[in-house]
Amino acid sequence: VYLRVTSKIKKLMLYGVVLALFGEVVFSLLLGMYEYRLENVPLYVPLGHSLIYAAVFYIQKEKIIQHNKARVVSILYWGMIVYSSLWLLLDQDRLGFLCMLGVVLFLKKKPGNELFFLIMFFMVVYLELLGTYYQCWAWPDTWFSTVSFITSSNPPSGISVFYFGFDIGCLWIYKKLNRQKWSRMKSLRLLSNS
């Protein structure tokens, strides 16, 4: 995949590996937010984060999705709310529901990128369900195993909000390390919107 993407996405993927490794060490090993089966951070995880980032970037650009963008956003948005609400009702997943509300708030404050983040939400849902089903990792019954009134499913339904932090972090690093290219891209965007 890395060999077939644009140079911008290659950079974002490399930044993502570093950022993902840091995030996994902090959230899994130091804070105990979730735990991998062997109580470490498997090698595939930081690489997988970058792969997901690139996949969502390209999925959102597919012609059929772009052609039906408003409809896709609406379906994914309401699907996200229904999905997390069902987990709350059926499994007392308060953490997942609160995270989903965080996603809703985030999307309201950052309009224009809903498609990317909603596709990311469901990509994360899929991967979290697979990873926990096969017991590659597990989430505790309560947030950080200490906040008893914030119960959690395994996995929490809206946990993708943390992936959003990863996505934003990758982009922030790219902006800082590629200021000239970023400025040029923003200028071209402004011209095309005029």
Residues 174-186 pLDDT 10s = 888 887 776 776 7
- pLDDT value for 117: 94
> Cis omega (within 30 of 0) on the bond before 155?
yes
- pLDDT value for 49: 92
**129-143 burial, b for 16+ CB within 10 Å, e for fewer?**
eebbeeeebebbeeb
DSSP string, 75-119: HHHHHHHHHHHHHHHHH--HHHHHHHHHHHHHHHHSTT-HHHHHH
Residue 124 backbone zone (phi > 0: left; psi -120 to 50: alpha; other: beta): alpha
Give the pTM. 0.89
User: Domain tally for the chain?
Assistant: 1
- pLDDT value for 123: 96
C-alpha distances in angstroms, 70 versus 64, 66, 74, 93? 12, 8, 6, 29
Closest CA to 76 of 31, 107, 110, 34: 107
Using 50, 70 and 90 to split pLDDT, how confident is the model at 112? confident
Give the helix/strand (H/E) hosting 193.
helix 179-193
**1-13 burial, b for 16+ CB within 10 Å, e for fewer?**
eeeeeeeebbbbb
- Pairing outcome for strands 137-138 and 35-36: antiparallel
Top-confidence residue, 54 or 111 = 54
Residue 30 belongs to domain spanning = 2-193
In this structure, the number of other CB atoms found within 10 A of the CB of residue 190 comes to: 9
